[in-house]
Amino acid sequence: MNTTDGLLRAIGGALVLGIRGMRPGDPGLEEDLDACARVGCRGVILFDRDVGVGGARNIESVGQVRALCDYVRERLGAGTLVCVDQEGGHVRRLRETHGFGAWPGADETPAEFAWEGLTNELASVGIDVNFAPCVDVDVNSSCPVIGALGRSYGGDWATVVQRAERSVRAHVEAGVLPVLKHFPGHGSAGTDSHMDLPDITGSWSRDRELAVYRRLFERLDVPLGVMTGHLLHRGLDDRLPASLSRAVTTGLLREELGFDGLVATDSIDMEGVRAGWSLEQTISLALHAGADLVVHACNSGRAEHAPDIAEAIGALASSPGAPSLAAMAWDARERVDAVMRSVRAGASGPGARG
């Protein structure tokens, strides 16, 4: 392996990519897994529908998802992370129409009592990482992507902490890494970060939104992840959103709040970042910010798929800044490995993977 190939796989090892297809032999799946293997990407993320072309994407049935997870690991390696967004309610990739449980959303009273079933179900089909629970405080009930969709546990930070804690513990027991989102808090935003970059400078409160993370970090001595949001707060960083900001990801989350777990970005195909930065810039900035996993769902109107991301990683691997990016990515890999070892060591649920 030459130097450029080594840098390519080091940087690629920090990426989680969306894939097309449901089963071995599907042309989109094989093309995407070839690209993932070429750059050594760390994981994949599954979706029920394809936003770009419409129709089903990765999910058909319980048995099919289990077989797909097995095949992904056969192609990419046993340590490949299979990720999903399974909050319950509006955000469910694994639905009852596919044979999975009809899990309630955060705004439904019994939601937190369903987490044991939901997380054991994820573990039983081979999911490693769930980008949930959503711990955004419902500050603006008309926020189009949080409050309006019933994704918040409530408008009081203490209520959010109490209800999210049960979710986190159920994930860890099942052997699935929970990832709190969307740091530093999306609940006050007036716009959807899928469509634009929300400016939360005037609506976000340090005492309210950071209290959720501070208290959960204090109360939970368990493996944990945090997803950084595409959210601009000019008092924290006057130029970059949280997901691309070292001041927020490293300075606020890691240094001020003392978080030493896994940090993943929200998907970098969202307009909250891509309206202002190219694909290569977004990957580079996210790693410089301190992200461990850079997520690209490859599932938007941009029609970017794993081969396109592999090409962008190749360009980064050939750039003058490649060695420093690769060093950051290797540090991130070690942190991800340590977190996932802790998750698997502490699992006791019936579906937990060894």
Q: Annotated catalytic residue: which of 107, 138, 237, 266?
A: 266
Q: Which residues pair with 55 in a beta bridge?
A: none
Tell me which residue has tokens 């945090």: 226
- Do 164 and 153 contact (CB within 8 A), yes or no? yes
**Cβ-Cβ contacts under 8 Å for 212 (sequence gap 6 or more):** 135, 137, 157, 160, 161, 164, 185
Q: Closest Cα partner for 352 from 54, 38, 122, 110?
A: 122
Q: Which residues pair with 183 in a beta bridge?
A: 228
Q: Is 138 designated active site?
A: no
**Cβ-Cβ contacts under 8 Å for 119 (sequence gap 6 or more):** 130, 170, 171, 173, 174, 176, 349
Sheet of strand 129-130, all strands in order from the earlier edge strand to the far edge: 262-265, 225-228, 177-183, 129-130, 81-84, 43-45, 15-18, 294-296
Strands 86-88 and 91-92: antiparallel
Residue type, 64: Q
How far is Cα 99 from Cα 251, in angstroms, rounded to an integer? 43
How far is Cα 328 from Cα 27, in angstroms, rounded to an integer? 33
- Do 304 and 269 contact (CB within 8 A), yes or no? yes
Q: Closest Cα partner for 138 from 163, 169, 172?
A: 163
Q: Which residues pair with 295 in a beta bridge?
A: 16
- Do 209 and 234 contact (CB within 8 A), yes or no? no
Q: Annotated catalytic residue: which of 26, 50, 194, 196?
A: 194
Q: Is 233 designated active site?
A: no
- Which residues carry out catalysis? 194, 266
